[in-house]
Amino acid sequence: MKYFNKLGALILFLGTLSCQAQDKGYESLTVEAFCQTIADTTVVRLDVRTAAEFAEGHIERAVNIDVLSPHFLQDALAKLPHHKLIAINCRSGKRSKKAADILIRNGFKVVELDKGFLGWVAEGKKVVK
């Protein structure tokens, strides 16, 4: 019985460590949660798609900084306030996670739209051009 108690404690401890190792430092939000978050006008909306993608349609009041640009970090540091929450989106959710990782490592607090702009459009949310 002691063996099983110790084994259980070890599994619980290792599980705690693995959860901490997987902590991204940011939260991926559903479309609805993202929509509620950006309803707060102090939250900065950041679209990390290309300028051409952004011009085809984007979330209202979003700032566009292309995460694939070699100057992404420099542009982000110059344009984004460190003291505000940054809500990031891209097309499908892949680039926004990359941008979130970069921004978190540089002191920003961020959330990202888990299914990207495509998910936003699919749920009928407002788009501007």
The per-residue pLDDT for 18 is 37
- Average pLDDT of 75-84? 98
Contacts 24+ apart (CB under 8 A), 119-126: 119/31, 119/92, 119/93, 120/31, 120/34, 120/59, 120/89, 121/57, 122/31, 123/31, 123/32, 125/31, 125/35, 125/59, 126/59, 126/60
pLDDT above 60: residue 67: yes
- Average pLDDT of 74-80? 98
pTM: 0.83
- Indicate the pLDDT class of residue 19, thresholds 50, 70 and 90: very low
Say yes or no: domain 26-122 is CATH 3.30.365.10: no
The per-residue pLDDT for 34 is 98
Task: Tally helices (H) and strands (E) across the chain.
Answer: 6, 5
**HSE (CB half, 13 Å, CA atoms) of 122?**
10
pLDDT above 80: residue 17: no
The per-residue pLDDT for 36 is 98
The per-residue pLDDT for 24 is 87
List pLDDT tens digits, range 25-46. 999 999 999 999 999 999 999 9
Report which of residues 92 and 8 the model is more confident about.
92
The per-residue pLDDT for 116 is 98
The per-residue pLDDT for 16 is 42
